[in-house]
């Protein structure tokens, strides 16, 4: 499966970059899959910037504003999506200036 995914990723046009997201429920192995897939893609000669949303958590006060066990708070308040867009997605867009953010690993 990893070889198949990596081959399909490498085949994507990079204009200026191909953005690939791994999504799923907590504990499903998203981080492991993304790490292994990035390694395979690098091995095929394609540069990779590996970004994790875990580097974009809201401050604790914002995450727990609706209560520590609030499902809505978990869904709506866990991550600073504006920072993710500003620091990663926008710079990697066709009109952006690509710089590796401190939250990214290459």
**Which residue in 82, 72, 77 sits closest to 62, CA to CA?**
77
Give the pTM.
0.74
Whether 67 has a pLDDT exceeding 60, the answer reads: yes
Tell me: pLDDT of 98 over 80: no
- The yes-or-no verdict on residue 90 having pLDDT over 80 is yes
Q: What pLDDT sits at residue 106? A: 46
**pLDDT at residue number 102:** 46
pLDDT at 62 over 60: yes
Per-residue pLDDT at 9 exceeds 60? yes
pLDDT at 29: 94
- The average pLDDT across 12-20 equals 83
Averaged pLDDT for residues 70-93: 90
Domain locations in the chain as residue ranges = 2-7+14-105
Long-range contacts of 28-37 (CB under 8 A, 24+ apart): 33/2, 36/2, 37/2, 37/5, 37/6, 37/9
């Amino acid at each position: 499966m990893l070889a198949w995914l990596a081959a399909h990723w490498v085949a994507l046009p990079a204009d200026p970059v191909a953005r690939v997201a791994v999504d799923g429920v907590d504990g499903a192995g998203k981080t492991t899959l993304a790490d292994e897939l990035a390694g395979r893609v690098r091995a095929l000669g394609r540069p990779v910037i590996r970004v994790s949303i875990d580097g974009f958590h809201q401050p604790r006060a914002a995450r727990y504003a609706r209560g520590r066990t609030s499902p809505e708070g978990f869904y709506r308040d866990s991550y600073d999506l504006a920072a993710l867009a500003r620091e990663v997605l926008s710079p990697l867009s066709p009109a952006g200036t690509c710089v590796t953010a401190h939250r990214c690993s290459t």
